[in-house]
Structure 1
Amino acid sequence: MKLGKIEKVDLRKVWEHEALKFTKWLAKEENILLLAEELDISIENIKPEESAGRYSVDILADEVSTNRKVIIENQLEATDHKHLGQLLTYASAHDASIIIWIVKDYTEEHKQAIDWFNKHMPEEISFFLVQIELWKIGNSSPAPKFNIVSQPNNWAKTLKKAASQEKGNPSELKLLQQRFWGELKDHMNNKTTFSKLSLGRTPRPQHWYDISFGTTKANISFSFNSKQSRISCELYIKNDKSIYDKIVEDEVQIKKQLDDDLSFLELPDKAAFRIIKTLNCDPFNEEEWKNYFDWLIDNGEKFQKTFKKYF
């Protein structure tokens, strides 16, 4: 078998102009999802070249689960003091909590600065330094690759926040849920049959686990519900009734594919919509976890295949 050779591509050969080419490319839904998946966050309401006083931030967006503001500053060169200053200016102008600096290359001094921010800023503030690269094999089209250079300690922050918001001894439950998701991910990767599901990078200590769906308008989510003794798979549609209405029109056909126990739910004020399938069980019974994993993976794949066409 003849193997190809991986070659690095000059960024400027694809994106001649940072603002006119690269920022516009990144702002497209399918492209910013590549970045979001690498950072293990969900992004929506993407606005390129948003005003920040006399200046414009490259991209302004919202983080889905917390509605925190996200800013992205692009630099198709090595990091410099000017862009670091702009990053802080834009963050203050938009009261951003997730600050992302995408660069071609970086100096150790600027990496240390971002590390320092993550160490000393409040836990709600997260800084990311990300290197963008382009690679190709033979005559293939260049493919982007995002490399995280510096990031916050998300696990520690999430666990600390979860512990502070619940009474009693929540850490044991949260850690159990994190282990459940971690073993689910390992189970899927070890399956002999290939799965098209794309699980998040880092299992977190929380009761849900989002699945990348190729759109910012919705996501597939698994849940570990200890209070109601069940696990579930759901499609969560964010503030788009037109999509939900199209799906409801096909409810009969969809239930034939996913079974009659499928529930269609409009959340209060129609801010979001859920289509959910549940399995009554004991999530704490670790001897049954592999069966639960198979159920989640099977239904996740069915949800992805059934609902993909609506987006």
Structure 2
Amino acid sequence: MDLSRLEPVDLREVWHSEPEDFTPWLAKPENITLLGETLGLDLDVESTEAGVGPYRADIVCRDTADGSSEGALVLIENQLERTNHIHLGQLLTYAAGLDAVTVVWIAAPFTDEHRTALDWLNQKTDQSVNFFGLEIELWRIGGSPIAPKFNVVAQPNDWTKTVRDTTGRGRELSETRRQQLEFWIEFEEFVKSRGDEIRCQRPGPQTWMNSSLGRTWMTFACVISTSPPSVRVELVLDGDDAKAWFSLLEIDRKFIEEKIGEELVWHSPPNRKGARVQVKNDIDFRNHSQREESKEWLYERLRIFHEVLKPRALALNADDATIDMNDEGESES
């Protein structure tokens, strides 16, 4: 068998100008989604070359991991060269001016000094502020198309920041919250160990962990409950088009359930804007004998939801739907 070698490609061969070439490329939906998956964020571009006083921030996004369009601001600063003090100062200035809670610095490459600076900022700030450093690379195999690759060189320590933020202000984590946080940290590592493209949001002391679809008002969610004990995976639809999307998906309900391999709960309450499609298992994530089973079950259902429901969800057009609002409710096969 003949094998080819990966060959690096000079960034300037593809992007001659950062503001005219790289920034517009990164702001395209398919590319900002790739960046978001690398970071575990659900990024929705709000503006490029955004004005901050007399300056211009490269890209401003919203992190819509909760399925809404009102997520926290994310600032992206691009640099197609080695990191320098000028860009470090710029990204801090822009972050302050925009009140961004997540700051992403993309460069090629990072110096040890600037990577250390981001690590220090993550250590000194609470969970509400996060700094990421990424190196951008381009590769090809033989005559194949050129492919981008993001390498994370600096990121928040989620466990440390979460615990410090909750306990450092006189708020001790309850036993349930501590168990939730521990489980999600374990689950995040479990998902990463599988080596596929599924990405989840950063772990937190809460009942859910979202996984981006790459479209605003939609997300997958893994959920753990204690009363009664259960775990579930669901497609969450929100916003003005949620009911229309739900009705379109329900048309293919039989086919979807056959592909997923089990019956689903289709939930669209008439008194609420949102809708959900979910599957549940009555096991207790806190029970050590069911811990691994809980992670395995959640991962497998999340994986097949991505495989079966994601392409259908991304293709939905609310204008194609005809809805009778009086017929909506909860149903099981």
The TM-score, its normalising length taken from structure 2, stands at 0.78
Within 5 Å, which residues of 2 pair with 1:9-88? 9-65=9-65, 67-88=71-92
Aligned to 1:246: 245
User: Does 2:163 match 1:159?
Assistant: yes
AA aligned to 1:174 is Q
Deviation at 1:2, TM superposition (A): 1.1
Within 5 Å, which residues of 2 pair with 1:249-288? 249-255=248-254, 257-258=256-257, 261-265=264-268, 270=273, 272-288=274-290
**Coordinate RMSD, CA, aligned:** 3.1
Deviates more, 1:78-87 or 1:120-129: 120-129
Deviation at 1:106, TM superposition (A): 2.7
Aligned to 1:192: none
CA distance, structure 2, for counterparts of residue 60 and residue 175 of structure 1? 29
CA distance, structure 2, for counterparts of residue 256 and residue 6 of structure 1? 41
Against the structure 1 CA distance between its residues 255 and 155, is the aligned structure 2 distance closer, same or farther, given a 3 Å change threshold? farther
CA distance, structure 2, for counterparts of residue 255 and residue 229 of structure 1? 28
Count of aligned positions? 303
The TM-score, its normalising length taken from structure 1, stands at 0.83
Aligned to 1:145: 149
CA distance, structure 1, for counterparts of residue 124 and residue 190 of structure 2? 34
Conserved 8 A contact 1:184-1:293? yes
CA distance, structure 1, for counterparts of residue 222 and residue 135 of structure 2? 31
Aligned to 1:306: 309
Deviation at 1:217, TM superposition (A): 4.7
AA aligned to 1:285 is N
AA aligned to 2:276 is R
Deviation at 1:166, TM superposition (A): 6.5
Deviation at 1:224, TM superposition (A): 1.3
Conserved 8 A contact 1:174-1:205? yes
Against the structure 1 CA distance between its residues 167 and 175, is the aligned structure 2 distance closer, same or farther, given a 3 Å change threshold? closer
Conserved 8 A contact 2:79-2:106? yes
Determine helix, strand or coil for the equivalent of 1:139. coil
AA aligned to 1:275 is V
Determine helix, strand or coil for the equivalent of 1:105. coil
Could you give the per-residue CA deviations for residues 231-285 of structure 1, whole angstroms, max 9, x where no partner exists? 111112353x336403313414315533664132369873x54332322333333
CA distance, structure 1, for counterparts of residue 182 and residue 159 of structure 2? 14
Conserved 8 A contact 2:225-2:231? yes
Conserved 8 A contact 1:29-1:216? no
Against the structure 1 CA distance between its residues 256 and 161, is the aligned structure 2 distance closer, same or farther, given a 3 Å change threshold? farther
Structure 1 unaligned residues grouped into runs of 5+: 190-194
Deviation at 1:69, TM superposition (A): 1.2
Against the structure 1 CA distance between its residues 69 and 290, is the aligned structure 2 distance closer, same or farther, given a 3 Å change threshold? same
Conserved 8 A contact 1:33-1:216? no
Determine helix, strand or coil for the equivalent of 1:86. helix
Determine helix, strand or coil for the equivalent of 1:225. strand
Against the structure 1 CA distance between its residues 281 and 252, is the aligned structure 2 distance closer, same or farther, given a 3 Å change threshold? farther
Aligned to 1:178: 184
Aligned to 2:298: 296
Deviation at 1:293, TM superposition (A): 4.6
Aligned to 2:317: none
Determine helix, strand or coil for the equivalent of 1:77. coil
Determine helix, strand or coil for the equivalent of 1:99. strand
Deviation at 1:226, TM superposition (A): 1.7
Deviation at 1:302, TM superposition (A): 4.1
Conserved 8 A contact 2:284-2:294? no
Against the structure 1 CA distance between its residues 95 and 203, is the aligned structure 2 distance closer, same or farther, given a 3 Å change threshold? closer
